[in-house]
Amino acid sequence: MKRIWDDFLTPRDRAVFEAAGYGRRGGFGTRPALFVIDVQYNFCGDERMPILDAIKKYRTACGEEAWDAVPHIERLMKLFRARNWPIFYTVSERRPDMLDSGVQVAKSHRGKEKTSQEGTHATRTVEALTPRPEDFLIGKRKPSAFFGTPFMSHLNFLDVDTLVVTGCTTSGCVRATSVDAFSYNFKVIIPEETTFDRFQSSHAMNLFDLNCKYADVLPTDEVMRGLEPLPARATLAPA
């Protein structure tokens, strides 16, 4: 089966991958949580359009690939809601003066644009994935959702052992959160079609690297099959 990263690998990369034994499946646990990272209008655009059009309004927009991911996340969300498994979202927004972005502002010459201002349409989750009252919202200011947030505390309380990571960007917040989750000994599953990035090469190669060392990057259909046998929760609260 051809993978998204195959076109970017050199012959040497392929040889090292095989010889060093990378990419072995880590597998699923029994108590999953779904995490939807930054699937907001400022990362997707207000509607489906080519990325070079979308970034005229939102410098962080990822174009058509963002909207391609949404229905795949919806499929997973439907299963998680039916099984009463927890669903987490990031709330990625900034105060009006942007000081809570810290040094990140300096990494783009458009960094001071107010497209991530708190309380605006830009920082809302896209309508098809709107959070429900029982879901968990994690406000973050840095790439990893673990940094400076109560995310780990919630996962401990809910006795989660597997984190299904979706959203954007693959090279930024998805990667940073997945590596931290791995570091805390969670099993990390990344449904390939549910993630997206503004740079095609970064998207492909970060999925490759995550699959090598930190996560199982799988087609969404395979993730659904892997989740299907796991037991439902009677309630979100732990026993």
Give 12's pLDDT tier (boundaries 50, 70, 90).
very high
* DSSP H/E element including 33: strand 32-37
Give 239's pLDDT tier (boundaries 50, 70, 90).
low
pLDDT tens track for 175-198: 999 999 999 999 999 999 999 999
**3-state SS assignment for residue 89:** strand
Task: Give the mean model confidence (pLDDT) for residues 111-120.
Answer: 81
Which ranges of the chain does DSSP label H, i.e. alpha helix?
A: 11-20, 41-44, 51-54, 64-83, 151-157, 175-183, 200-213, 220-227
Say what the pLDDT of residue 112 is: 74
This prediction has a pTM of: 0.94
Closest of 120, 123, 121, 128 to residue 69, by C-alpha: 128
Tokens of 168: 């954007």
Could you tell me the residue ranges of all domains in the chain? 29-227
pLDDT tens track for 27-45: 999 999 999 999 999 999 9
- Indicate if the pLDDT at residue 76 is higher than 80: yes
- Indicate if the pLDDT at residue 238 is higher than 90: no
- Indicate if the pLDDT at residue 101 is higher than 90: no
- Indicate if the pLDDT at residue 106 is higher than 90: no
**3-state SS assignment for residue 136:** strand
Say what the pLDDT of residue 168 is: 98
Q: What percent of the chain has pLDDT over 70?
A: 99
Task: Give the mean model confidence (pLDDT) for residues 127-131.
Answer: 97
- Indicate if the pLDDT at residue 1 is higher than 90: no
Give 121's pLDDT tier (boundaries 50, 70, 90).
very high
Burial class of residue 73 (count of CB atoms within 10 Å of its CB; 0-12, 13-18, 19+)? buried
The CATH class of 29-227 is alpha beta
Residue 120's CB is within 10 A of a number of other CB atoms, namely 15
- Indicate if the pLDDT at residue 98 is higher than 80: no
Say what the pLDDT of residue 116 is: 82
Closest of 65, 39, 45 to residue 57, by C-alpha: 45
